[in-house]
């Protein structure tokens, strides 16, 4: 995970979900869907919280939140934002590896948000550890939300914008392994893992959970970012309305950049 931490030390994660209209679609759809499953007075653990965009959203709604991330810079940013707050919210933060939650007791959270770790857990054993640990600290009947990145969106977006990746070995690597790593000629990002909606469902179903929702959180919005970012307020409102109404459509889910599985323990 060192390469991932190095990457995010230089990357502006804060602006990813909060600046451009196309990127904000993911946040809006994710929170709208989660709000349908998350009720009041919950204790929430967020893994891979980045700079805390989702954690602050839920803390501001009165939830008791613990925001964790493997990148110390992100946790420092969360602490800084907390220090600048005038209102008191229930939000704690610390540096944590999502595959090892030994700091937390079993069944100590009502909700576990795993909205980032799957992107960068390139080893299958680590992905299994992450889900097992998430379920261990989750109370019975609690909600686990897991986000992932779709192989097919990656292939379409990367090959059409970076022609050096328009090669069969790149297609085969993404389809067959879903993994890229720093130093490889196929690496266009950092150490990363991509999957498909069906593969993700099959993976989650190996654990003792019930899938209660499965959505594409941004569809083609990132692919059409110039078009979406240039919309006026009325047009963007229409686009969001469409995104929310189509996010559970299987054909949309199959080509969305990000997917979200919501499960009950």
**101 to each of 12, 64, 139, how far by Cα in Å?**
26, 18, 14
How far apart CA 175 and CA 32 sit, in angstroms, is 31
Does the pLDDT value for residue 230 go beyond 70?
yes
Q: Average of pLDDT values for 76-85?
A: 93
In what helix (H) or strand (E) does residue 80 lie, and over which residues does it extend?
helix 72-83
Centre a 10 Å sphere on the Cβ of residue 157 and count the other Cβ atoms it contains.
17
Residue 167, pLDDT score: 96
For the chain, give the percent of residues with pLDDT over 90.
89
Residue 15, pLDDT score: 64
Residue 84, pLDDT score: 92
DSSP string, 107-119: T-EEEEEESSGGG
Does the pLDDT value for residue 214 go beyond 90?
yes
**Residue whose entry in the numeric block shows the structure tokens 């709000």:** 35
How far apart CA 75 and CA 243 sit, in angstroms, is 31
Cβ 257 vs Cβ 228: under 8 Å: no
pLDDT band at residue 123, thresholds of 50, 70 and 90? very high
How far apart CA 121 and CA 99 sit, in angstroms, is 9
Residue 41, pLDDT score: 87
How far apart CA 194 and CA 196 sit, in angstroms, is 7
Residue 11, pLDDT score: 66
Does the pLDDT value for residue 18 go beyond 80?
no
Please tell me whether residue 229 adopts helix, strand or coil conformation: helix
How far apart CA 31 and CA 173 sit, in angstroms, is 32
pTM of the model: 0.95
Residue 101, pLDDT score: 98
How far apart CA 134 and CA 257 sit, in angstroms, is 24
Does the pLDDT value for residue 232 go beyond 60?
yes
Per-domain boundaries in the chain: 2-264
Q: Which fold has domain 2-264?
A: Rossmann fold (3.40.50)
Q: Residues, the chain, total?
A: 265
pLDDT band at residue 17, thresholds of 50, 70 and 90? low
Residue 32, pLDDT score: 98
pLDDT band at residue 207, thresholds of 50, 70 and 90? very high
Q: What is the pLDDT of residues 159-192, one digit of tens each?
A: 999 999 999 999 999 999 999 999 999 999 999 9
Residue 110, pLDDT score: 98
Q: Which structure tokens are listed for 193?
A: 């893992």
How far apart CA 262 and CA 34 sit, in angstroms, is 8
């Amino acid at each position: 995970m060192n390469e991932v931490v190095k990457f995010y030390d230089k990357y502006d994660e804060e602006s990813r979900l909060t600046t451009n209209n196309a990127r904000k679609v993911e946040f809006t759809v994710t929170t709208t869907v989660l709000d349908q499953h998350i009720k009041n007075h919950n204790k929430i653990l967020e893994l891979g919280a980045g700079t805390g965009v989702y954690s602050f959203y839920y803390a501001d709604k009165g939830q008791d939140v613990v925001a964790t991330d493997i990148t110390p810079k992100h946790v420092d940013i969360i602490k800084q934002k907390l220090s600048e707050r005038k209102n008191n919210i229930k939000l704690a933060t610390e540096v944590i590896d999502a595959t090892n939650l030994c700091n937390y007791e079993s069944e100590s959270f009502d909700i576990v948000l795993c909205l980032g770790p799957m992107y960068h857990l390139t080893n299958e054993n680590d992905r299994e550890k992450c889900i097992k640990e998430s379920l261990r600290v989750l109370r019975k009947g609690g909600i686990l939300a897991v986000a992932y990145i779709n192989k097919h969106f990656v292939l379409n977006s990367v090959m059409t914008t970076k022609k050096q990746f328009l090669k069969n070995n790149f297609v085969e690597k993404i389809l067959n392994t879903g993994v890229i790593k720093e130093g490889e000629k196929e690496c266009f990002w950092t150490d990363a893992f991509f999957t498909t909606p069906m593969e993700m469902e099959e993976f989650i179903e190996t654990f003792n959970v019930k899938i209660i929702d499965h959505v594409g959180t941004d569809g083609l919005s990132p692919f059409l970012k110039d078009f979406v970012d240039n919309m006026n307020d009325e047009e963007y409102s229409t686009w969001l309305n469409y995104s929310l109404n189509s996010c559970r459509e299987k054909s949309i889910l199959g080509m969305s950049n990000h997917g979200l599985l919501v499960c009950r323990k």
